[in-house]
Amino acid sequence: MKHLLKLLDLSSEEIINLLDLADQLKYDLKHGIPHPKLKGKTLGMIFQKSSTRTRVSFEVGMYQLGGQALFLSTNDLQLGRGESIEDTARVLSRYLDGIMIRTFEQSLVETLAMYSSIPVINGLTDFSHPCQVLADLMTIREFKGKLEGLKLCFIGDGNNMMNSLIVGGLKTGMQVSVACPERYMPDPLVLEFAAEYGDKFSLYHSPEQAAADADVLVTDVWASMGQENEIEERKKAFAGYQINSEIMKIAHPNAIVLHCLPAHKGEEITHEVFEEHAAEIFEEAENRLHVQKAVMVTLMA
Ligand code: CP
Ligand code: NVA
């Protein structure tokens, strides 16, 4: 593994190895066992979109590993004034030991990686959110003791989260079912990948059908970053694509609920279901820290 650009690039074994290392790093942290595996190393973090979890967990994670992180907003970088991503990659590779980037187009992250001589980590694009889904898999394993054979259901937009959960779920042996409106389907590349898994993957337009007997229910906002101007039409299209008490009755009685956050309660999830499942949702947020430390150690140590 040279970079973390999207889960499609990782083997099942690489994913499981990251989750195992994340569990170990979580154990070490909770037991006060020092783990300065990236002493003296620096991670650059380029943000073209807002962030609470990604920014703070990468920065704190780097600190706990004995290294440091630099927050680089595109407003401040020459990238924001038109310097090319290719040149930015070649310059930053001379100073840093790794780059995390949150941006719009997946192709920008792929180009950055192509021109960098150091590891590149995708901190979210419009296409994928691999760090989040690794944290989700870690959380599912913690609550359910396994991944293989579980049914994962995502209800909502065919966005970066749905794309990555389909890939991460199938690669780790889960059955994956998703429900989205016809106009908001997952990426064709992901559907092509999922087609190889036969009846392990199902796509519905009905949330009720998708949720039947699910062990894990996941949702995300109806309008992602950069789509704020579409919110009114999206509210109409996504009405009913909600995790609520009715959906919970259709899912397995012991189903857990995940949300990458930030949540728009009352839209994709009700206040009631969110609070009933806050234990899972905030463990999931915490696990961003542990799993990203595992990613950084794997790529940068
Ligand atoms: N879930 C997630 O990536 O959160 P942030 O946008 O706050 O980083
Ligand atoms: N789909 C959301 C995820 C935020 C973490 C977005 O891209 O805005």
- What CATH code is carried by the domain that includes residue 215? 3.40.50.1370
Q: Is 234 a catalytic residue?
A: no
Catalytic residue among 3, 260, 277, 292: 260
pLDDT at 44: 98
Q: What digits encode the pLDDT tens for the residues 70-85?
A: 999 988 899 999 999 9
Q: How many whole angstroms from 124 Cα to the centroid of ligand 1?
A: 8
- Residue 160: its H or E element: helix 160-171
Residue 279 and residue 239 share a domain: yes
pLDDT at 75: 85
- Is residue 224, in this structure, part of any structural domain at all? yes
Mean pLDDT of 51-61: 98
pLDDT at 74: 86
Q: How many whole angstroms from 196 Cα to the centroid of ligand 1?
A: 30
- Is residue 153, in this structure, part of any structural domain at all? yes
Residue 220 Cα: closest atom of ligand 2: 1
pLDDT at 76: 86
Q: What digits encode the pLDDT tens for the residues 173-230?
A: 999 999 999 999 999 999 999 999 999 999 999 999 999 999 999 999 999 999 999 9
Residue 278 and residue 136 share a domain: yes
288 Cβ inside 6 Å of ligand 1:
no
DSSP E strands, the chain = 42-47, 68-73, 98-102, 120-122, 151-155, 175-179, 201-204, 216-219, 256-259
- Is residue 1, in this structure, part of any structural domain at all? no
pLDDT at 31: 98
Residue 288 has pLDDT above 90, yes or no: yes
224 Cβ inside 6 Å of ligand 1:
no
What average pLDDT does the chain have?
98
Residue 155 and residue 30 share a domain: no
- Is residue 2, in this structure, part of any structural domain at all? no
Residue 224 and residue 137 share a domain: yes
Residue 166 and residue 76 share a domain: no
Handedness of CA 150, 151, 156, 161 (dihedral sign): positive
Catalytic residue among 3, 53, 277, 288: 288
Residue 262 and residue 156 share a domain: yes
Residue 155 and residue 88 share a domain: no
260 Cβ inside 6 Å of ligand 1:
yes
pLDDT at 186: 98
Residue 269 and residue 166 share a domain: yes
Catalytic residue among 3, 53, 102, 277: 102
Residue 35 and residue 119 share a domain: yes
- Residue 245, C-beta contacts closer than 8 angstroms, at least 6 positions apart: 270, 272, 273
CA distance 200 to 125: 26
Q: How many whole angstroms from 246 Cα to the centroid of ligand 1?
A: 28
Residue 279 and residue 294 share a domain: no
- Is residue 23, in this structure, part of any structural domain at all? yes
Q: Is 157 a catalytic residue?
A: no
Residue 161 and residue 119 share a domain: no
Mean pLDDT of 133-143: 99
Residue 191 and residue 141 share a domain: yes
The number of folded domains in the chain is: 2
Strand partners, 265: 269
Q: Is 131 a catalytic residue?
A: no
Which residue range forms the structural domain that includes residue 276?
Answer: 132-284
Q: What digits encode the pLDDT tens for the residues 5-38?
A: 999 999 999 999 999 999 999 999 999 999 999 9
